[in-house]
């Protein structure tokens, strides 16, 4: 397996960001976080930000035509030549098809789709306690994964805040969007033999161990 081309799939609050940060470090992969790219664009008032803002505030998916081009640019960039880790993309079948086509043109393939599974009630509990740093979006939880100093990011010392879309009513809307539009990607990728499922209710370090073990097995199988 010369390159690792990975997707993190799962409902809001499944722990995609928590695992993504660790995996990109573990494997030295460029980490493309769609939600962070969009939030930065909103914060900077760019054209992309203006197009995305109202959907994000309401907990709805941003239209495919707005998102696809931005993410494919990253996948096709030199930085991602030896592999990538996508978090939050694709989220619809048309997005998955666009990614498949773009990789086909580059004569590349996905290695695996890592699906982190967590029930809806747990999602609501997690997101109400989540805090993220203003500088780089590093993720904490008041109860399950608190920072060493209250309100301060361990990694870059910036302030920790609650995301606007982590209000319970917006979280429930995000979950509806997930079940309506994104959950079907699990069967889409299962049919293509790419899906690997993980119990996201285990502690973060255990989920990370399980994912790493799965990727090690995939690498081993390739050599046999
Ligand atoms: P995005 O930012 O991608 O949000 P999301 O998918 O809803 O995911 P989250 O970031 O909320 O959760 P996560 O799974 O990363 O969990 P985390 O690790 O933080 O998208 C935001 C918006 O952007 C969307 O609503 C949409 O509008 C738009 N958008 C994005 N991509 C798009 C696309 N492709 N197309 C269209 N629109 C798009 O963990 C959550 C909490 O739980 C944390 O506090 C963490 O510390 C804790 N935790 C994590 N793991 C565990 C564990 N194992 N046990 C206990 N606690 C844990």
In angstroms, rounded to a whole number, what is the distance separating the alpha carbons of residues 123 and 116? 12
What is the SS3 assignment for 210? helix
221 Cα: distance to centroid of ligand 1 (angstroms): 31
Q: Residue 188: is it exposed, middle or buried by C-beta count within 10 angstroms (0-12/13-18/19+)?
A: middle
**Ligand 1 binding pocket mutation candidate from 31, 35, 67, 68 (most atoms within 8 A of CB):** 35
Q: Check if 29 has its Cβ closer than 6 Å to any atom of ligand 1.
A: no
- Lookup result for tokens 């747990």: 122
Q: Which residues of the chain have pLDDT under 70?
A: 1-2, 223-224
Minimum-distance ligand 1 atom for the alpha carbon of 33: 3
Minimum-distance ligand 1 atom for the alpha carbon of 90: 34
Q: Is residue 213 part of a domain?
A: yes
Q: Is residue 199 part of a domain?
A: yes
105 Cα: distance to centroid of ligand 1 (angstroms): 30
220 Cα: distance to centroid of ligand 1 (angstroms): 31
Is pTM, for the whole model, over 0.75? yes
- pLDDT tens for 82-125 read 999 999 999 999 999 999 999 999 999 999 999 999 999 999 99
Q: Is residue 93 part of a domain?
A: yes
**Ligand 1 binding pocket mutation candidate from 7, 8, 12 (most atoms within 8 A of CB):** 12
Q: Residue 143: is it exposed, middle or buried by C-beta count within 10 angstroms (0-12/13-18/19+)?
A: exposed
Q: Is residue 194 part of a domain?
A: yes
Q: Is residue 160 part of a domain?
A: no
Q: Where in the sequence is the domain holding 84, given as residue range(s)? A: 4-30+77-118+182-223
With beta carbons less than 8 A apart as the criterion, state whether 127 and 117 touch: no
Which two three-digit tokens encode residue 79? 């930085």
Q: Check if 130 has its Cβ closer than 6 Å to any atom of ligand 1.
A: yes
CATH code of residue 84: 3.40.50.300
Q: Is residue 177 part of a domain?
A: no
Q: Check if 11 has its Cβ closer than 6 Å to any atom of ligand 1.
A: no
- Counting the structural domains of the chain, the total is 1
Q: Is residue 95 part of a domain?
A: yes
Active-site amino acid positions:
16, 91, 130, 163, 174
Q: Check if 138 has its Cβ closer than 6 Å to any atom of ligand 1.
A: no
Q: Is residue 82 part of a domain?
A: yes
Q: Please state the separation of Cα 31 from the chain's center in Å.
A: 9
The CA–CA distances, whole Å, from 119 to 24, 122, 200, 205 equal 25, 6, 9, 19
Query: What does the pLDDT read at residue 164?
Result: 87
219's CB contacts (< 8 A; 6+ apart) are 1
Q: Residue 193: is it exposed, middle or buried by C-beta count within 10 angstroms (0-12/13-18/19+)?
A: exposed
């Amino acid at each position: 397996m010369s390159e690792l081309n990975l997707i993190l799939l799962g409902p809001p609050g499944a722990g995609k960001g928590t695992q993504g940060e660790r995996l990109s470090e573990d494997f030295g992969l460029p980490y493309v976080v769609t939600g962070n790219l969009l939030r930065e664009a909103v914060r900077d008032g760019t054209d992309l930000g203006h197009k995305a803002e109202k959907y994000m505030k309401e907990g709805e998916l941003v239209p495919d035509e707005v998102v696809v081009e931005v993410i494919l640019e990253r996948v096709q960039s030199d930085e991602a030549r030896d592999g990538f880790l996508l978090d939050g993309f694709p989220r619809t079948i048309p997005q998955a098809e666009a990614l498949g086509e773009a990789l086909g043109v580059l004569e590349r393939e996905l290695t695996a789709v890592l699906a982190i599974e967590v029930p809806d009630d747990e999602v609501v509990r997690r997101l109400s306690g989540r805090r993220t740093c203003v500088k780089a979006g590093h993720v904490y939880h008041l109860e399950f994964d608190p920072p060493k100093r209250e309100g301060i990011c361990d990694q870059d010392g910036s302030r920790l805040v609650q995301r606007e879309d982590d209000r319970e009513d917006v979280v429930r809307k995000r979950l509806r969007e997930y079940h309506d539009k994104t959950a079907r990607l699990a069967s889409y990728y299962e049919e293509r033999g790419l899906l690997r499922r993980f119990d996201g209710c285990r502690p973060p370090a255990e989920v990370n161990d399980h994912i790493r073990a799965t990727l090690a097995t995939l690498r081993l199988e390739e050599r046999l």
